[in-house]
Amino acid sequence: MFAASAYTLRRKARLAVSLAWIGGFVDAVGFVVVFKIFTSHMTGNTALLGAGLGHGDWSSVGRLGFPIAMFFAGAFLSGLLTVGGGRIGIKSTYALALSFEVVLLSVFGVLAWETPHAEGWQQSLLVAIAAVAMGLQNATITQIAGAVVRTTHVTGVITDLGLESVQLLYWLRDQPKGKPWERFWRAFRLSSRHPSVQRLVLLLSIWLSFLVGAGLGVSTYDRFGILCLAGPIGFLGFLIVLDVVQPIANLQHVDHKQEDQELTRFGIDVGLLPPGVGVYRIRSEGQRRSRAPDLGRLAERIGAQSQVVMLILAEDVDLDDNNLMGLVSSIKVLRDRSADLVLCVTNSKLFLRIRDHALGDELGGTNLCPDPEFAVARAIEIATDLAEVAEA
């Protein structure tokens, strides 16, 4: 279990370090440009908004409530782009959302360059653009990496740091008795796999990245002015290019009511499968090899009606250790809700790699199949057994 969460958290840490500095950078620059209004730190804005309400200072209420509304609008826009984009067939929805952020930050930079002493509606426009960009980034990364990763504010991060530190201290205290140096060495060897240590590393990486970004933002703004935004804009462009060069493969649900040509080649009619068997396929679109989606969150995307999940991996999808260990975590989640997973891997090299991996141990010899026919037979067998148990 520790190893499974380690790979997932390691990937989240890389993602957080890559993007949290942009949140700190833009927040610091925005604070300077728009006269001490936070564009990503909504906790501070909300506290000041409350103070304004308490004093009856309605001009402050409007000035501070506006960026909060715009941050919300950015998060709402992220949902439209990622969830709505996926519904209409857009493949790289997260790249689409980050592209919007690039456009927003670019417009912010141009307007700040043209109006260095913005007032009135011009200042409000600058606040709106920056806050929407930060809300968009925060919501997009949350959808990719889960609620633990926030890249535009750190209050919750510091709170979690305190809680996880207590968990770690109690774990160290509960280590078996012995000589102090032996206990220290034993704890040191085991700590890299302990969930609290992994989460502490993740949370510290987010906080430090945000801090470094804020420092870079102020120092580069003092030297280059608003042109300093070229750094975060260029980095976001780099991430978008990476996503386009090697896109994320699609997770597709195979409808029982429609004929599937690929499965028909194997003599399989999905319409004859029991209703409790859900068939899913991960495959690339086009000629390029693709990365697998976040398999650690696979269980979240599986309908509750699917008691048995048959997952087919196409030959042109690359899986790394993050994907494999993420799938281990998803299998545990599915089994906790009395469901199971059958994995079909037609790529012989990948099949052997999974068989010798912790994922192969988790699946067992019968739930890892080299072709769809075996996988269908195993899925029907599990569904039949579950039905008999339910009837009994």
Q: How far is CA 51 from CA 42, 55, 72, 111, in A?
A: 14, 6, 21, 30
Q: How far is CA 353 from CA 13, 140, 320, 330, 336, in A?
A: 26, 32, 10, 19, 26
> Buried b vs exposed e over 91-110: b needs ≥16 C-beta within 10 Å?
bebbbbbbbbbbebbbebbe
Decide if pLDDT at 230 tops 90: yes
| 113 Rama sector, left if φ>0, alpha if ψ -120 to 50, beta otherwise | alpha
**Selected residue with higher pLDDT from 294 and 28:** 28
1-8 average pLDDT score:
41
Decide if pLDDT at 269 tops 80: no
32-46, 118-132, 229-243: which range is least confident on average? 32-46
- The string of pLDDT tens digits covering residues 329-380 is 889 888 888 889 999 988 888 899 999 988 899 998 889 998 888 888 898 8
331/1 Cα distance (integer angstroms) = 11
Decide if pLDDT at 278 tops 60: yes
3/224 Cα distance (integer angstroms) = 45
Hey, what CATH topology would domain 250-391 get? Transcription Regulator spoIIAA (3.30.750)
| 111 Rama sector, left if φ>0, alpha if ψ -120 to 50, beta otherwise | alpha
Decide if pLDDT at 318 tops 90: no
Decide if pLDDT at 19 tops 70: yes
Check residue 247 and give its pLDDT: 67
Decide if pLDDT at 2 tops 50: no
To 5 degrees, how large is the angle CA 98–CA 151–CA 236? 30
285-303 average pLDDT score:
71
Hey, which of 29-33, 113-117, 122-126, 162-166 has the most confident mean pLDDT?
Answer: 122-126
Hey, which of 185-199, 281-295, 343-357 has the most confident mean pLDDT?
Answer: 343-357
Q: How far is CA 351 from CA 8, 106, 323, 344, 346, in A?
A: 21, 46, 14, 9, 7
Check residue 6 and give its pLDDT: 41
Decide if pLDDT at 4 tops 50: no
155-167 average pLDDT score:
77
| 50 Rama sector, left if φ>0, alpha if ψ -120 to 50, beta otherwise | alpha
Check residue 268 and give its pLDDT: 78
165-183 average pLDDT score:
67
Instruction: Fill in the DSSP letter of residue 340.
Output: E
To 5 degrees, how large is the angle CA 263–CA 320–CA 186? 135
Decide if pLDDT at 284 tops 70: no
Decide if pLDDT at 146 tops 60: no
Check if the beta carbon of residue 62 is closer than 8 Å to that of residue 125: no
Q: How far is CA 61 from CA 27, 147, 204, in A?
A: 20, 29, 34
Structure-token match 């079909």, residue found: 344
Q: How confident is the model at residue 1 (pLDDT cuts 50, 70, 90)?
A: very low
Please give the biggest Cα pair distance in the chain: 76
Decide if pLDDT at 170 tops 70: yes
Q: How confident is the model at residue 5 (pLDDT cuts 50, 70, 90)?
A: very low
Check residue 143 and give its pLDDT: 67
Q: Which of 307, 313, 303, 297 is nearest to 250 (CA)?
A: 313
72-76, 124-128, 206-210, 299-303: which range is least confident on average? 299-303
